[in-house]
Amino acid sequence: MTRRVVVTGMGALSPIGADWPAVSTRLREGRSGVQVVEDLADFEGMDTRLGALVEGFETPAHYPRKKTRSMGRVSLLATRATEVALQDAGLLEDPVLGSDRMGISYGSTSGSPPAMMVYAKQLYAEGTLKGIHATDYVQFMSHTVPANLAQFFGVRGRMIPTASACTAGSQGIGYGHEAIVSGKQDVMISGGAEEFHPIDAAVFDVMYATSTRNDAPETTPRPFDVDRDGLVVGEGAATLVLEELDHAKARGAQIYAEILGFATNCDGKHITSPDEEGMARVMREALADSGLKPEDIDYVNAHGTSTEVGDIAESRATESVLGNTVPLSSLKSFLGHTLGACGALEAWLSIEMLRESWFAPTLNLEKVDPRCGELDYIRGKGRTLEAEVVMSNNFAFGGVNTSLIIRRWPG
């Protein structure tokens, strides 16, 4: 019998908030989390001054220093989002938390950049090991987030790190789904996180891919718009507690949604340039995994980075698979591009929008780039939809593609 996977807990920290009612209000009011980050002006040659930050976050007072000293900001954001999700799922005191039947599938683009800088500065600039602490490496190792989550919450099942840049969060959810479907685990902590740092802005700035609307942060990013000028880097974390359906029912858990399908592949063509064919192929594979047809998809949460090549390739791929009548929008217009967190944040928001039967628009989308086709882009004030199934797509450097298919849970 096929094992079904449901979402029983959710927690998030985003540039537009952590509590869904407050986030929903900001989405409806068209207020993004993009702001001017003055520190970016300190770097010669940095054109962008924009970022989307999680404001006001501090390490919770009840977190033991012994457990947080190995954490950079990215792990702390993930830990708080996961704590909220586990509380929401009613699992913080459940015996499954420390059993072999519960695991972690979680990602980030990398570890914490400030810890990387300690090594770089002391070794190469100062020529000494003085000033380097034993925990610095643990803070920036590629699997720092799931490793820290495991030790903080005492998780003993399988650990699946997903350090795949902009698909880290969606792969975190997808691989968590697969671990449960395969029967290897009953519950998975799944998601992605990212912390804002100038190095992330610089990565895209040197590629001329960042927005430079520094005097008007409220007007950018502009996915699919003819006047877009690049992305805005953001930060955040989102955790979904995934659970096998019978396991969830047996303990009387609240169920938010069902993960129907997941697919991931790679283009095998170019390290940074998106490939339309690979994008289309991953959507078809996700449909096949879910047993659905293209016409069953009621809404698409687009990756929508606000870069020219990305927007065009994604739009064409989406139209080739789903046609041009399915409603579509990009939440990066509100959140910025949260890199390793984006797939998880967007899945969380897709589930909440499903539950509310209202879907956010692509902010700042005033005139669609003709090269992006004639898709049904949601614009303006958003749209009320009696949707049952959403597809959430993400794409990353290295030609990594992901597609998640999520269904509203009845009632």
Peptide bond into 161 cis (omega under 30): no
Whose CA is closest to 366, among 237, 220, 202?
220
The two tokens of residue 334 are 């509100």
The two tokens of residue 365 are 């989308």
Indicate the SS3 state at residue 11: strand
Q: φ and ψ at 153, to 5 degrees?
A: -100, 0
Between CA 46 and CA 157 the distance in angstroms is 43
Instruction: Say if residues 67 and 217 touch (Cβ distance below 8 Å).
Output: no
Instruction: Say if residues 32 and 333 touch (Cβ distance below 8 Å).
Output: yes
Between CA 284 and CA 291 the distance in angstroms is 10
Between CA 347 and CA 238 the distance in angstroms is 9
Active site residues: 166, 303, 337
Indicate the SS3 state at residue 163: coil
H or E element at residue 360: none
Between CA 195 and CA 15 the distance in angstroms is 11
